[in-house]
């Protein structure tokens, strides 16, 4: 498993694009992996024939662990691919290719460098024996071309990798051994492997052991539960990937930054009329111009008048960092959870540029192609809850930022205009801000500025 950058230490195999026996070329996509921040396509650093897939889809793998073995054209040489083909994946430091050790002894990976050779060890098996398979048990070409540090040898083809489950309490102190597919089956069925007796060689738990346990569990170790009707059983899903990272970030933010939330209802009739006129014009005819684009522009303009709204609290340094640029995060719902990709230097873009950036950002996010780099370095976030028909909410600030703005549904509502009741297009805004960085006066002024720009876009000409 290569180092995908951003300080991430593990990733999950989502799917394989190749199978044993397939011929692959340098930079051909061989798998999709999901990190805590995004789904990433994994290219091959070698040209050759796939010898073995060493990890099952759905299993979380630590960086540096072998996941695939490729037999190169020249047996026993990890650099067998032609030099011209290998050049695109040469490491920036030391000239090392992906999978080879550089001048400092570290393994070149997709992004940055992995651990030094010899520093990665598997968890010990029962009785303290090392879990690594002997190098002699595998063909030399496969052992040398594994996409991981050479010191961590993948298991022999005739003996699938046996990974001990994490200790979770139960019968005895021994950690049970089981193949990744068996552990996944147990997880899907809600079976605690520590309660299962393995019948395989050396006490290894097999698929049949898990299936037998579900039909005839130990009455002492696994008390009988009330049976659910077919199709109404509880479903368990591992906390991982984007959901795991989001949960950790939100808990950290909620219990670190003192949140204050303010609300404002805005008559956006004039802005929606302006949108209709712009849509009819030639410049915006081929652009998806949404209300969110106007909100994004208003935020960028208002942030210049309240710099603390675009700042970061650096407690370690004892400083407040006032950012010179607005890197605007837009919360986007995807099949794998909520992510917040960024529009870099949003304050330098005009309305058309923001509208185009929003369209590209959401399309990329929903297709699962957002890169990890596009999910970091934001300075202010907008979350559009109105797209779900929700009026308002109390959003949690993204860690490292000073504030977040929630935009509610834009819809007709009764409104008083010049003392008369009328039907107007109204939107509710809610701003949560970190009270260490933004005091009540500053937060209120910023929210009022955003509201004023949406109520009358012409106000921008007076600033």
For 334, residues 6+ apart whose C-beta sits below 8 A from its C-beta are: 242, 365, 366, 368
Active site residue 435: yes
How far is 347 from 344, CA to CA, in rounded Å? 9
Question: 24, 33, 41, 38: which is closest to 63 by C-alpha?
Answer: 33
How far is 372 from 4, CA to CA, in rounded Å? 8
For 179, residues 6+ apart whose C-beta sits below 8 A from its C-beta are: 160, 161, 162, 163, 204
DSSP string, 128-176: G---PPPGGGS-HHHHHT-SS-TTSPPPPTTS---EEPPP---SSSPPP
Q: Length of the chain in residues, anyone? A: 463
Q: Which helix (H) or strand (E) holds 342?
A: strand 342-343
Q: Which helix (H) or strand (E) holds 83?
A: helix 83-86
List beta partners, residue 328: 343, 380
DSSP string, 408-453: ---EEEEEEETTEEEEEEEEEEEEEEETTT--HHHHHHHHHHHHHH
Annotated active-site residue in 259, 323, 327, 435? 435
Q: Which two tokens stand for residue 408?
A: 């509610």
Long-range contacts of the stretch 195-202 (C-beta < 8 A, 24+): 195/170, 195/171, 195/221, 195/222, 202/177
List beta partners, residue 97: 90
Long-range contacts of the stretch 225-228 (C-beta < 8 A, 24+): none
Q: Which helix (H) or strand (E) holds 261?
A: strand 259-267
Strand order across the beta sheet in which 48-53 lies: 23-24, 48-53, 68-72
Residues 63 and 2 sit within 8 Å (Cβ to Cβ) = yes
How far is 329 from 360, CA to CA, in rounded Å? 13
For the annotated catalytic residues, the residue numbers are 435
């Amino acid at each position: 498993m290569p180092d995908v950058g951003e300080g991430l230490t593990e990733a999950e195999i989502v799917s394989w694009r190749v199978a044993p026996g397939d011929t692959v070329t340098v930079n051909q996509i061989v798998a999709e992996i999901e990190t805590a921040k995004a789904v990433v396509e994994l290219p091959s650093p070698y040209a050759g024939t796939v010898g073995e897939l060493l990890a099952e889809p759905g299993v979380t793998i630590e960086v540096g662990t072998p996941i695939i073995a490729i037999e190169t054209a020249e047996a026993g040489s990890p650099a067998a691919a032609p030099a011209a083909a290998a050049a695109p994946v040469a490491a920036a430091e030391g000239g090392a290719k992906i999978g080879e050790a550089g001048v400092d002894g570290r393994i070149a990976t997709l992004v940055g460098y992995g651990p030094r050779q010899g520093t990665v060890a598997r968890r010990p098996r029962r009785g303290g024996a090392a879990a690594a398979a002997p190098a002699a048990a595998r063909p030399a070409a496969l052992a040398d071309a594994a996409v991981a540090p050479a010191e961590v040898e993948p298991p022999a083809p005739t003996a699938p990798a046996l990974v001990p489950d994490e200790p979770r309490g139960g019968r005895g102190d021994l950690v049970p051994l089981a193949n990744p597919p068996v552990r996944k089956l147990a997880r899907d069925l809600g079976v605690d492997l520590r309660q299962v007796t393995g019948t395989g060689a050396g006490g290894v738990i097999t698929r049949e052991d898990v299936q037998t346990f579900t039909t005839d569990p130990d009455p002492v170790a696994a008390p009988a539960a009330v049976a659910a009707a077919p199709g109404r059983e509880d479903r368990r899903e591992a906390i991982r990937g984007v959901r795991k990272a989001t949960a950790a970030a939100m808990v950290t933010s909620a219990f670190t930054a003192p949140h204050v939330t303010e609300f404002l209802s805005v008559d956006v009739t004039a802005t929606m009329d302006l949108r209709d006129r712009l849509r009819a014009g030639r410049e915006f005819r081929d652009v998806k111009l949404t209300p969110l684009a106007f909100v994004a522009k208003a935020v960028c303009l208002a942030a210049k008048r309240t710099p603390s709204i675009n700042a970061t609290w650096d407690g370690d340094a004892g400083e407040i960092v006032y950012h010179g640029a607005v890197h605007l995060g837009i919360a986007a719902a995807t099949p794998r959870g909520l992510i917040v990709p960024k529009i870099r230097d949003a304050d330098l873009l005009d309305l058309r540029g923001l509208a185009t950036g929003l369209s590209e950002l959401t399309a990329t996010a929903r297709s699962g192609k957002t890169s990890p780099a596009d999910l970091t370095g934001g300075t202010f976030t907008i979350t559009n809850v109105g797209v779900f028909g929700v009026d308002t909410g109390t959003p949690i600030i993204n860690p490292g930022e000073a504030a977040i703005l929630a935009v509610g549904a834009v819809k007709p509502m009764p409104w008083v205009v010049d003392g008369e009741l009328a039907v107007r297009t109204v939107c509710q805004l809610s701003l949560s801000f970190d009270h260490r960085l933004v005091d009540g006066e500053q937060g209120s002024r910023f929210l009022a500025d955003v509201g004023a720009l949406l109520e009358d876009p012409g106000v921008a000409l007076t600033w």
